[in-house]
Structure 1
Amino acid sequence: MEKHITLGVDIGRSHITAALVDLRSGHILDDSYRRERINAKDSAENIIKNWGIVIKDIINSSYRPVSGIGMAFPGPFNYEDGISLLKDNGKYEALYGLNIKSLLAEELGYPKASIKMMNDAACFLTGELFKRDLEGCNNTIGITIGTGLGTAHYKDGVTEDCKLWKTPFLKGKAEDYLSTRWFVKRYKELTGNSVKDIRALLATDTQDPAFEAIFEEFSVNLADFLYTFVRKKDALSIVIGGLIIPAQKYFWRKTAQYLYEKMFYSIPIHIAVHGERAPLIGAASIGHH
């Protein structure tokens, strides 16, 4: 039996993405890729059933045997036992305290022991580093900036979720300044106009002084946060991903410059290349173990 084909699943706040991954090459098998919207406020029974439909569709339509399932979940979550601890955020609250691993195994008719789960930020970093030869990657911190702030650390083959989104930062917590909502809020404050997200912000006048001011401020904040994170983990490199990536040309150089001025040496900053496929690759790699 081929043991190198594993199913990677990424549970997002409003969707499920899944695909088969060939762990010999680190490539996603494109014909297996699925992305479906999920109502995160639905009943536990319906959420599990709808996840199951997507996963079963991939497994049943594949002519290749699937050696395991790895799943990327947002926290808080008991990943070892498969129990959801998500509450008070309006997402998947019906799953709180339930053993997701057992419920999914039952729904899929699949062995519980063959389903593995890991934090989504940790899966992102694992996926970005998988089969890539990056400078300093044996001790790397990763951050994803999107609707929230994800932080992870990879060292000696082990990836951990660092949960730094809630650390005190400026007048609040880190996620208040390093997420989509900060851009939306700051743009409104400076211009009086509303934008929905980073993509919409990039469609505005990039020559506008307000646009430049926002990315200047963001670059300083990001450099400050990364400096603390690097020092905390003695990291040798950084990987940045998430919804912020389309805006990289407006912050990447400045952030690297400000970080250099704080550290007095240059640390490699790698921009994520796999996008939303990274958690799938990372999840698949843990599904194999």
Structure 2
Amino acid sequence: MSNDAGVAVLEVGGSHVAAAVVAAGSWEVASLQRTPLDSQTTADRIVAQLAEAAAQLPLANGLALAMPGPFDYAAGVAWYRGVDKFDSLYGFDLGQSLRSLLDLDRVVFVNDAEAFSVGEWTTGTLQGLERCCGVTIGTGIGTAFLADGRVVRTGDSVPPGGELYRTSIHGKPLEDWISSRAILRTYGEAPGVKEIADAARAGDERAHQVLQDAFAVLAEALTPWLDRFAATRVVLGGSISGAFDLVKEVFTFDVAVTEDTEHSAIIGTAVRSVS
């Protein structure tokens, strides 16, 4: 690996892509640019948008991407269906397409929640903890359970694949209780969860209750796994984590919200791609 070139990273969300270069070892982030991303368009157009973002970066060491699931990270194949984003990529070999378009030998994919959590362990709120957990909350729930900074996906102490969204509670999948679509469905008309949180801060008691109820289910679902894993701290990220000030009393364990929404997943992607 050429240390001079750093690690070229794309952090891919449903509405944006962040492109940056990360210095291996110091994990400093440079050249960060966020651009809009249309995740509802054709597969070819999505790939073109990602390639355009990546082309701004030095690619001597290849490219590492943080992607939401469901995704086959080893094979580079997307399996999105019914998640309100990237549906056209279902069964699509994104790795091969990007290698071809960008003339690269090496394209690495990392789960975005794992990238966020590893980034928090490397430079953020989870730094140096022996056993901890990161949770991202947005269009869905992402989780990563870390032992000395390494992601644990197997064994009785973590949910299937280390992914809490694959569990159910009170007869429904977890994401039917806590996700942007679940909160918007419960509250009714609102542009987004941010607006519901703003309404709660302005005195809307129903908005406050809807948020507290959703996060209380998350806390209830997470608690037994934290106990089994012996995690000592949880950090929250993702778009909905901005409501933390309104819901923090529902948590009975050590939980914090990320202090660096911009960099954690980017840093974690770089760390995972070189380890």
Class of the TM-score when normalised by the shorter of the 2 chains? 0.7 to 0.9
The offset of 1:125, in angstroms, is: 0.7
* Percent of pairs with identical residues: 25
Structure 1 pair 183/84, CA: closer, same or farther in 2 (3 Å)?
closer
Q: Which residue of 1 aligns with 2:197?
A: 202
Which has the bigger relative contact order, CA under 8 A and spacing at least 6? Answer: 1
8 Å CA contact retained: 1:139, 1:153:
yes
The offset of 1:278, in angstroms, is: 1.8
Deviations 1:86-109 (A, max 9, x none): 234453233332322221111111
1:86 aligns with 2:85: no
8 Å CA contact retained: 1:166, 1:173:
yes
Structure 1 pair 45/108, CA: closer, same or farther in 2 (3 Å)?
same
State the distance in 1 between where 2:46 and 2:87 align.
Answer: 11
Q: Which residue of 2 aligns with 1:110?
A: 104
Structure 1 gaps, min length 5 = 60-64, 189-193, 260-266
8 Å CA contact retained: 1:8, 1:287:
no
8 Å CA contact retained: 1:4, 1:24:
no
Deviations 1:120-176 (A, max 9, x none): 111111111113474772211111111211111111332246222131112411111
Structure 1 pair 41/231, CA: closer, same or farther in 2 (3 Å)?
same
Structure 1 pair 249/133, CA: closer, same or farther in 2 (3 Å)?
closer
Amino acid paired to 1:70: A
The offset of 1:272, in angstroms, is: 1.2
Q: Which residue of 2 aligns with 1:8?
A: 9
Amino acid paired to 1:122: E
1:287 aligns with 2:273: yes
Amino acid paired to 1:271: V
8 Å CA contact retained: 1:116, 1:286:
no
> Number of paired residues?
265
Q: Which residue of 1 aligns with 2:187?
A: 187
Q: Which residue of 2 aligns with 1:277?
A: 263
Amino acid paired to 1:239: V
Amino acid paired to 1:102: Q
Larger deviation, residues 197-206 vs 169-178: 197-206
Structure 1 pair 133/46, CA: closer, same or farther in 2 (3 Å)?
closer
State the distance in 2 between where 1:48 and 1:205 align.
Answer: 39
Amino acid paired to 1:71: L
Q: Which residue of 1 aligns with 2:213?
A: 217
**What aligned pairs does 1:72-151 form with structure 2 within 5 A after superposition?**
72-89=66-83, 91-112=85-106, 115-132=107-124, 134=126, 137-151=129-143
Structure 1 pair 122/38, CA: closer, same or farther in 2 (3 Å)?
same
Structure 2 gaps, min length 5 = 154-160
8 Å CA contact retained: 1:48, 1:103:
yes
**What aligned pairs does 1:142-161 form with structure 2 within 5 A after superposition?**
142-159=134-151, 160=153
Q: Secondary structure at the match of 1:222?
A: helix
State the distance in 2 between where 1:88 and 1:245 align.
Answer: 23
Give the TM-score, by structure 2 length: 0.85
Structure 1 pair 230/88, CA: closer, same or farther in 2 (3 Å)?
same
Q: Which residue of 2 aligns with 1:37?
A: 36
Q: Which residue of 2 aligns with 1:240?
A: 236
Deviations 1:206-248 (A, max 9, x none): 3233234234423432321221231342322211111123222
The offset of 1:185, in angstroms, is: 2.6
State the distance in 2 between where 1:20 and 1:196 align.
Answer: 33
Structure 1 pair 226/107, CA: closer, same or farther in 2 (3 Å)?
same
Amino acid paired to 1:195: A
State the distance in 2 between where 1:56 and 1:135 align.
Answer: 32
8 Å CA contact retained: 1:69, 1:284:
no
The offset of 1:66, in angstroms, is: 4.7
State the distance in 1 between where 2:84 and 2:246 align.
Answer: 33
